Amino acid sequence: MSGHSKWSTIKRKKEKTDQQRAKIFTKIGRELIVAVKEGGGGDPSVNTKLYDVIQKAKQNNVPNDNIDRIIKKAAGEGDSSNYEEAVYEGYGPSGVAVIVEALTDNKNRTASDLRHYFDKYGAGLGTPGCVSFMFSAVGMIVILKENIDEDKLMEDALEAGASDFNATDEVFEITTDSLDLRAVTEDLTAKGYIIESSEQMKLPASFVSVTDIDLRAKMEKLIEMMEDHDDVQEIYHNWENQDEE
């Protein structure tokens, strides 16, 4: 699994300021609301989508009281939130493929904002499907390397149903089929491993290198602007070795 590491994205979130983390909490709150309303209620034991978002919330240090309050409100009759899922695809500098997942109460506004970002810092917003064929939906589990026996973890992960195992300088990245993520996560947790992150994601089949300094700066700015947008939940791209270039 060369190229962009999931861990670099997680670190970006963890290293943000208090104000930026508050925005992440708000975005995860939206995901919880949508998961309750579209996934089948407020019980994570039967609502797999909600279970996954709760794990994501905990891994991003969202307080349990906040999680419970949002779920109860979304499951009740008094919540009038009406967020829709929307996916946007486009190209960054040097042909970097970008997928943006959003939850929005105004698709026209979100599309207009993202089109502006792509036009200013990339090559433009594309049509649905223009880059998604380059990505596969997978589950990704991240475990810090500290005091972990690599061979034992790899054996345990593969026995639990993982499809791939990768060691970076700081973490182990365990890839699963998207449908197996919960089962593998629970199996490794039961064996005593501390899960740093366990999420559904889109993994690119190949990566693009951006060598020009100005174009790299534009790509960074494009990601920064999208991350700061209230409606944007996740950004996937095939920029190779983003944190090393």
> What's the average model confidence in pLDDT over 5-15?
64
> What's the average model confidence in pLDDT over 184-196?
96
| The two structure tokens encoding residue 78 | 């008094």
> Domain 6-75 belongs to what topology?
Arc Repressor Mutant, subunit A (1.10.10)
**Top-confidence residue, 205 or 19:** 205
Query: Could you tell me how many residues make up the chain?
Result: 245
Judge whether residue 109 has pLDDT over 50: yes
Sorted by where each begins, the domain ranges of the chain are 6-75, 84-133+206-237, 135-204
Residue 1: predicted pLDDT: 39
pLDDT tier, 144 (very low <50, low <70, confident <90, very high otherwise): very high
Among the residue ranges 75-89, 91-105, 205-219, the one predicted with the least confidence is: 75-89
**Domain 135-204, CATH homologous superfamily name and number:** YebC, transcriptional regulation domain (3.30.70.980)
Q: Do domains 84-133+206-237 and 135-204 have the same CATH topology?
A: yes
| The two structure tokens encoding residue 83 | 């967020």
> Domain 84-133+206-237 belongs to what topology?
Alpha-Beta Plaits (3.30.70)
pTM, two decimal places: 0.88
The residues facing 101 across adjacent strands are 87, 234
Judge whether residue 3 has pLDDT over 50: no
Residue 14: predicted pLDDT: 60
The residues facing 103 across adjacent strands are 85
Residue type, 40: G
* Three-state secondary-structure class, residue 155: helix
